[in-house]
Amino acid sequence: MSHEPAAAVHAQTEAQPSATRSALFTPNAWQWGSMVLLSAGICVVAILLGTHKIPLGNAAIVLMPVLWAVLLGAVIGVQKVRPMTGHSRAVSSVLLDVSIVMFLAALGVSVGPALSQLTDLGPAVLLQEVGHIFGTVIIALPVAVALGMGRMAIGATWAIDRESYLAYALQRFGVKSPEYRGVFSVWLLGSVFGAVFISLLAGLLGGLGIFDPRALALGLGLGSGSMMLGGVAALSIIYPEQAGEIMALAALSNLVTNLVGFYAGVFLSMPMAQRLYTFWKRLFRRDDEGRRVGADGQPVKIAKRSEAASAVDTNAVTVDPEVRMKPSTWIIAFGASIVVGFLLNALGTGVAGANEALGILVLGVLTAVAFLLSKLVRSVPPSVWVLALATFVTAPFMPTAGLVTGLTEHLDALFVGLASIALLGMNLGRDVKALKSLNWKVVIVAMLTFTASFVGAAALAQFVIHV
C-alpha cells in the first residue's frame, strides 16, 4: 500500500533479466532540491486554491487541496517543455515513500485517543473487510467477463490490486499471464487516478446523506494511503464536526485491511473469483481470451485484438533508475519530509509553534522506526508498522499518550501528507506510455472494482452501525 508507485515498479523489474534492471545512482543536490521545492510549491498553490463544493442535487463534488495537488503534479509530470527525467522521478519516489508513511503516522496518532470511543464499532470495523474482499468479486467480475476480458478479469477484480496483491500475482501467475496483466492494469490506474476517483466518490456519497459518515470512513480502509487520504479529505469537508472521528476510523480500517486483507484476498477472494469466473464464462459464452463462443465451444469469430491488448502492455512501462539508499539518502528524505510537512501544516492550519515542530519530529521518529522494523520483518511494510506504532503510543493506557497527543493535536494529517499526493502526480510522466496502451474495458472494470470495494464495505459497516 504505502510504496506507491515505487514498490510495484520494483516488483516489475524483479521479473526482468538482471541486465535490464534499473541502474542505481546517487542523487545530487540539484535533483534533491528541485523535487523538494517543486512538490512543496505545488502544495502551497493547492492550499491557496482552497476548497470548493459543486452541488449536484443532494450530492456534491468537492474540489480540495488534495485534488489540486495531484492535478497540478500531473501537469508537471507530463508536460514536454522541461520534461522530468527518470532520475528526478526516482528521487520523487523516495520522497513519496517517506512522506506517505509520515501521513499515516499523522493519522495513527488520532486513532489511539479514540480507541475507547470505537469499541462499539468493533464488529463494523471487522465486517467492512468482507465488503472490501467480496464486493469486487461479486459486482465487478461478471462485468469484466461480459466485456470480454477473459482470464484477466480474475486479476482485475479479486481485490483493488495494491502493491502486495501485485507482488503475489507476479509470483503466482507469472509476468506474462493474463491474470497478472489484469492486476497490473488495475494497479496502474489506481496509482495514477485512485486518489482523485475515491475523493470524488466519497464526496458524492457523503453529500447524498444515505450513509452514516462513520460507515463511509470505514469503507476508506482500501489498503491504499493515497486513496484513503483523498476520501478522508472529502468527507472531512462535508462533515467538519466529525473530521477527527472520520480520520481515526479510516486509519483503523486501513490498518485492519493491511493486517488481514491480503491474506483474506489470497485464501478467500482469489479462489472465489476463480470459481465464479468459470460460472460467468459459461453464462456469457466467453472463452479464456474473452472471445464469444458458440454452443460447440468454438469462437464465433476471430477477435481483431488479442487478449493482451485488453490490458496494459507491461513492456510499455518505463523503468526509471533507482536511488542508491545510503544513510545520507535516508537523512535527506526524512529531513525534507519533516520540514515540508511542518510548513504545509502551518500554512493550512495557521498554527506553527514549538509544539508543532516537536510534533512533526515525533511523526518523523515513528516513520523512521516503521522503516527499520520493515527491514527486520520484510513481510510487514512500513505502512502497517507506522499505523500500529502511532496507535499504540497514543492509546489511553500508555504513559506516552498525553505527551504525544499534546504535541500532535494541531497537526492536520491532510496537510502533513499533502506533498505525497503532489509527488504521486509528478510521477505520472513515467506511466503515460503504459496508460495509452490501456483498453477502455480495463478502465471501466477498474473504476467498478474501486467503487464496489468502497461501497460494499461502507454498506456492511452501515448495517452493523444501525442494526
Residue of 230, 264, 267 whose CA lies nearest to 247: 230
Ordered DSSP codes for 366-397: HHHHHHHHHHHSTTS-HHHHHHHHHHHHTSTT
Q: What is the identity of the amino acid at 182?
A: G
What pLDDT score does 64 carry? Answer: 85
For residues 112-122, average pLDDT: 67
Exposure class string for 262-292: b at 16+ Cβ within 10 A, else e: bebbbeebbebbeebbeebbeeeebbebbbe
Whether residue 1 is contained in a domain is answered as no
Q: Tens digits of per-residue pLDDT, 27-80? A: 999 999 999 999 999 999 999 999 887 877 666 777 889 889 988 998 998 888
Domain holding 444, by residue range, is 6-466
Angle at 344 between CA 222 and CA 382, to 5 degrees: 40
Q: Tens digits of per-residue pLDDT, 83-97? A: 898 899 999 989 988
Judge whether 236 and 245 are in contact, CB under 8 Å.
no
CA–CA dist 248, 234 (Å, integer): 15
Whether residue 405 is contained in a domain is answered as yes
For residues 199-212, average pLDDT: 90
Judge whether 72 and 46 are in contact, CB under 8 Å.
yes
Judge whether 378 and 90 are in contact, CB under 8 Å.
no
Whether residue 342 is contained in a domain is answered as yes
What pLDDT score does 9 carry? Answer: 38
Whether residue 390 is contained in a domain is answered as yes
For residues 356-383, average pLDDT: 91
Whether residue 444 is contained in a domain is answered as yes
Look-up: residue for cell 454452443?
A: 295
Residue of 272, 339, 253, 298 whose CA lies nearest to 37: 339
The HSE-up count of residue 317 (CA atoms within 13 Å, CB side) is 28
What pLDDT score does 42 carry? Answer: 96
Whether residue 253 is contained in a domain is answered as yes
Whether the predicted pLDDT of 233 surpasses 60: yes
Whether residue 368 is contained in a domain is answered as yes
Whether the predicted pLDDT of 298 surpasses 80: no
| Backbone angles phi and psi of 52, in degrees to 5 | -140, 140
Give the DSSP H or E segment for 431.
helix 428-436
CA–CA dist 224, 317 (Å, integer): 21
Whether the predicted pLDDT of 112 surpasses 50: yes
Whether residue 433 is contained in a domain is answered as yes
Q: Tens digits of per-residue pLDDT, 436-456? A: 777 888 899 999 999 999 998
Whether the predicted pLDDT of 180 surpasses 80: yes
For residues 230-235, average pLDDT: 90
What pLDDT score does 13 carry? Answer: 37
What's the pLDDT band for 26 if we cut at 50, 70, 90?
Answer: very high
* Paired residues of 56 in beta bridges: 59
Whether the predicted pLDDT of 250 surpasses 80: yes
Query: How many residues are there in the chain?
Result: 467
Look-up: residue for cell 469462437?
A: 299
Residue of 323, 383, 379, 374 whose CA lies nearest to 98: 383
What pLDDT score does 8 carry? Answer: 38
What pLDDT score does 424 carry? Answer: 82
Q: How many domains is the chain partitioned into structurally?
A: 1
Judge whether 103 and 423 are in contact, CB under 8 Å.
no
Whether the predicted pLDDT of 246 surpasses 60: yes
Q: Is the pTM of this model over 0.85?
A: no
What pLDDT score does 301 carry? Answer: 61
Q: Tens digits of per-residue pLDDT, 325-355? A: 999 999 999 999 999 999 999 999 999 999 9
Looking at residue 125, the DSSP 8-state letter turns out to be H
The percent of residues above 90 in pLDDT, for the chain, comes to 40
CA–CA dist 24, 320 (Å, integer): 10
Angle at 413 between CA 204 and CA 402, to 5 degrees: 130
What pLDDT score does 3 carry? Answer: 43
Judge whether 392 and 398 are in contact, CB under 8 Å.
yes
Mean pLDDT of the chain: 83
